[in-house]
Structure 1
Amino acid sequence: MLLHRASTRYDDYDEYGVEVTGCPAGWSVAAARAAITADTALLQPLLDDDPDPAIRIDAAYALATATDSEHAVRASFRTRLAAEPDPVVRAALVLTTAEAARTHPHPPTTARIRERWEDRTPAPEVRLAAAIGWLCLTGEPAPDDLRATVDDLATEERAHAMEALPWMAAAGGSRETGLRRCVRKMLHPELPDPADCDDPWCPHH
């Protein structure tokens, strides 16, 4: 999700390509989503009650992929966000809400996510997650105040702290944290990949 703007897949699995078995990879994605949807009742207590922040983050990450046509799972994210004490877990809840809204578009949710990065009250991690999540949900140009907010809050310390989020870990490249890569790709696409990138998929100039 994190490096893609205004190209929502919804439930079109064709874009996932083909597995080494020759079967469409989208079949596996659909099967995984169905399995998670069937087990939301098992995952929800981990999100709400587990004492380990890492478990709560992983539960949020898994629940983000559940089919949620009734918006019940998304409502549970909002409820948990109001009670969650850990700022990195709150950031996870913002990203998981954005991912759910990307699959099941819901304009009020997009508006609420925008309000979170505009509001100076939430923790910096939450505002950064909201800024990235909002960019993933809209094709609008990044406003100047969003750029200023991200540039101000995206310190190296926070970038490394937010690597605890699976979205960021997946977005990161060699020698570049996920947050830094998201900021570069979304807000500064003219910047090249790190010169010392040893990722084989990095373009070399």
Structure 2
Amino acid sequence: MTSEFQRVSATLHRRLAVEDDPVVRVSLILAIAQLAREHEDDNASAWTRGLWSDPGRSSEIRIGAGLAWLCLVDDPVPDELRALLTDPSTDRCGDLFQRVPWIEPVDSYGSGLRRCIREMVTPDVRTEASAEAG
């Protein structure tokens, strides 16, 4: 890993530690994960898993980290993460996630977060739907 990557990643982590705005916190988590993916940082998946699996964290942190984790790994979705993301209370974060960059499917109003989660948790459904449409 390059020292530039490490410097930027450390800066984003420091900002996350002191940030109060939930939209910015989720954005920072996704930015850290995206940067880690681009630089093949294997530590990021453990870091995001630690965030989403911590019941002491806020809902937006856990949901954002869960989505980031899904982008970092090809592993099956653990039951604990599936339960978190599909819990009906997750819908309360929908408006917040509409203001978060990087999550295009959430841009639509109403059920955008739910649709994004469904597509990420069940990618085979998206693949089948795409094959049927084509």
**Residue 182 of structure 1 aligns with which residue?**
116
1:109 aligns with 2:44: yes
Q: Distance in 2 between matches of 1:76 and 1:134?
A: 20
Q: Deviations over 1:86-145 (max 9, x none)?
A: 222111111111111111111112211110000011210111010000010001100000
SS class of match (2:75): coil
Identical-residue share of aligned pairs (%):
37
Q: Which has the larger radius of gyration?
A: 1
For structure 2, the 5+ residue unaligned runs are: none
SS at match of 1:71: helix
| 3-state SS of paired residue (1:70) | helix
After superposing on structure 2, the runs of 4+ consecutive aligned residues of structure 1 that deviate more than 6 Å are none
Q: Structure 2 length normalisation: TM-score?
A: 0.81
Equivalent in the alignment of 1:5: none
Count of aligned pairs:
127
Which deviations, in whole Å up to 9, do the C-alpha atoms of 1:146-188 show, x marking residues without a partner? 0001112421x311221000122x2336566542222111113
AA partner of residue 183 (structure 1) = I
Matched, 1:119 2:54: yes
Asked if 1:150 is matched to 2:93, the reply is no
- Pairwise CA RMSD of aligned residues? 2.5
Equivalent pair of 1:159/1:177 in contact (CA under 8 Å): yes
5+ residue gaps, structure 1: 1-66, 193-200
Kept in 2, the 8 Å contact 1:173–1:181? The answer is: no
Distance 1:69 1:104 in 2: 11
